[in-house]
Amino acid sequence: MTYIIALICVVGIACGQILFKLSAASLQKTGSWFDPSTAILLLSSFALYGVMTIAWIWVLQKADLGKVYPLMALAFVIVPIGSHLMFGERFQPQYFVGVALIMAGIIVAVRSA
Contacts of 86 (CB under 8 A, 6+ apart): 18, 21, 22
Helix axes 93-112, 75-87, angle to 10 degrees: 150
pLDDT in tens, the chain (113 residues): 999 999 999 999 999 999 999 999 999 999 999 999 999 999 999 999 999 999 999 999 999 998 899 889 889 889 999 999 999 999 888 988 988 998 898 888 888 76
CA-wise closest residue to 34 among 44, 42, 45: 42
Alpha carbon distance 41, 24 (integer Å): 9
Question: For the whole model, what pTM was predicted?
Answer: 0.86
